[in-house]
Structure 1
Amino acid sequence: MTEHIRVTVEDRVMRIAFNRPEKKNAITNAMYVAMGEALTRAESDPQIRAVLFEAEGDAFTAGNDLADFAAVAAGKMARSEMKAHVFLEALARGQKPYVAAVQGFAVGVGVTMLMHCDLVYIADDAKLTTPFVNLALVPEAASSWLIPARIGHARAFAMFALGEPVDGRTAASIGIANASLPVSEVRAKAWAAAQALASRPLGAVQATKKLMRDAAAISAVMSREGEIFGQRLQTAEAAEAFRAFAERRAPDFSKVSG
């Protein structure tokens, strides 16, 4: 476990909170493992009937800590040492209802994980971005399938390939979130929704979720994405993207091959 993920259980709801506000809740390997273990516990504990994702500070999450990506791209860390899959695989097989409260910005996996949440409440002024292509990478968490299915190919491609942001109000209007609210109301709304789900007949809730999701297909897409993601991390394009990030400049992909 890590202090950067706070896990509590209250009124039959497991609350999983990003707790690294000084780094905009950028997710480390230890945080992925902690969240994966928490979800596994939630699935096996009959006293837990819903899961709520939330965050401390002014951001939901900046996504994966880019230091890990840069280390793999530079050959300083093996791709196998990255632990995002522990969390993503737990999301894919989850059967209990998941709720998310999103404020500030959500980047990369901070957006793609929402596709696995059954209810999402977001601040009006939140900003969602999936800048995978900007980093010479590809989408993950089965989002290459789930996001186009949710919002359409054109919008999804603009988010992935151009890195176009989506604000909270737009996220609600196109179906990424259930509702957008003033930031001061988001966590209370999400908590009330999680409590409401926890009061419903769990068997019926789980059966409904299972009917609405093809877990095997989601896992298969995640696997394909993960293989390509790993390959992309070791390309010259990725090396340039992370050098540029470290040097605080715009990347120049004109002289590197894919």
Structure 2
Amino acid sequence: MDIQTSKTDGILTIEFNRPERKNAITGAMYSTMAAALRDAEGDAGVRAILITGKPEIFTAGNDLDDFLNNVGEGKMTEDRPVFQFMSALESSSKPVVAAVAGAAVGIGTTMLMHCDLVYAADTARFSMPFAQLGLCPEFASSLLVAQAAGYTRAAEKLLLGEAFGAQEAFEMGIVAKVLPSSELLAFAQRQAAKLVKLPPASIRTTKALMKRSRAALVKETIAAENERFSAMLVGDEAKEAFTAFFEKRKPDFSRFD
């Protein structure tokens, strides 16, 4: 299974399990994760959720073959699997812990903005290369990265799209703690286990109150990003970027203005 799920001692674990493709996410994988999150919402036996990957890779982001084959007219409608997953993640009333080792590319970094406790191995590398692909930020990353890190640092990461390490992610407020790779998963599991033992209504209420002030703005930002993302997805700049990717060459944007 490309996504493995398990429930143990009150913790739902969702694990990327497609290392041969660097845990690149397909529509089917998004659907599996969305269903797991929705089921957890109504399961009193689940008190915390842990999202993780492999020691060598968290996720390389969208599987571009799968993604482009399902673009259709380019409309990123809310029935698409990625929307279903991100909606379930953002609206989860239960605490979500993420353990990140290796690369977290594109949506691999974006999804962390919607988790509650994010821990990274010292090997972790983060990137949001949307502009490099002729696209724009997604799922409120243009808002949440700037809120966490400040405008200038967010601009550096979102405009240039270059990868950055775990320590810088910590300094930016994207991750709560950096650990040796060998200690990451066990630490994240212990943090999730702490949440399991706390009063569930108190945890849900505290999370809801912390997210209350940003909820409307996140929804508005996602809608604004999606409108632009959809238009850019079928634009010439994105076509050049994706063609160059598959041809294994550098894209040439010199003819665009």
Category of TM-score, reference length = shorter chain: over 0.9
Deviations, residues 232-256 of structure 1 (Å, cap 9, x unaligned): 1010001000000011111111113
What are the equivalent positions in structure 2 for 1:209-220 lying under 5 Å apart? 209-213=207-211, 214-220=214-220
Equivalent residues of 2:27, 2:67 under 8 A apart: no
What are the equivalent positions in structure 2 for 1:64-75 lying under 5 Å apart? 64-71=62-69
Deviations, residues 24-81 of structure 1 (Å, cap 9, x unaligned): 10000001111111111111111110100011351000001112344467x6887558
Equivalent residues of 2:105, 2:126 under 8 A apart: yes
Deviations, residues 85-119 of structure 1 (Å, cap 9, x unaligned): 01111122111100000001100011011111111
Deviation of 1:172 after TM superposition, in Å, equals 1.6
Return the alpha-carbon distance in structure 1 between the equivalents of residues 106 and 82 of structure 2: 12
* Inter-CA distance 139–154: structure 2 relative to 1 (3 Å threshold): same
Which residue of structure 1 lines up, in the alignment, with residue 221 of structure 2?
Answer: 221
Equivalent residues of 2:123, 2:181 under 8 A apart: yes
Return the alpha-carbon distance in structure 2 between the equivalents of residues 70 and 94 of structure 1: 28
Q: Which amino acid aligns with 1:7?
A: T
Q: State the aligned residue count.
A: 254
State the SS of the aligned residue for 2:15: strand
Equivalent residues of 2:95, 2:116 under 8 A apart: yes
Return the alpha-carbon distance in structure 1 between the equivalents of residues 110 and 75 of structure 2: 24
* Inter-CA distance 71–7: structure 2 relative to 1 (3 Å threshold): same
What are the equivalent positions in structure 2 for 1:148-227 lying under 5 Å apart? 148-213=146-211, 214-227=214-227
Which residue of structure 1 lines up, in the alignment, with residue 20 of structure 2?
Answer: 22
* Inter-CA distance 72–6: structure 2 relative to 1 (3 Å threshold): closer
Residue 32 (structure 2) aligned to one of 14, 34, 51: 34
Deviation of 1:147 after TM superposition, in Å, equals 0.7
Gaps of at least 5 residues in structure 1 are none
Deviation of 1:226 after TM superposition, in Å, equals 1.7
Return the alpha-carbon distance in structure 2 between the equivalents of residues 89 and 223 of structure 1: 12
Output the TM-score relative to the length of structure 1. 0.93
Q: Which amino acid aligns with 1:205?
A: I
Q: Which amino acid aligns with 2:29?
A: M
Return the alpha-carbon distance in structure 2 between the equivalents of residues 13 and 28 of structure 1: 24
State the SS of the aligned residue for 1:60: strand
Gaps of at least 5 residues in structure 2 are none
State the SS of the aligned residue for 1:128: strand
Structural RMSD (CA) = 1.8
* Inter-CA distance 144–160: structure 2 relative to 1 (3 Å threshold): same
User: Are 2:231 and 1:240 equivalent residues in the alignment?
Assistant: no
Deviation of 1:125 after TM superposition, in Å, equals 2.1
Equivalent residues of 1:92, 1:219 under 8 A apart: no
What is the identity percentage for the equivalent residue pairs of Structure 1 and Structure 2? 44
Return the alpha-carbon distance in structure 2 between the equivalents of residues 234 and 17 of structure 1: 31
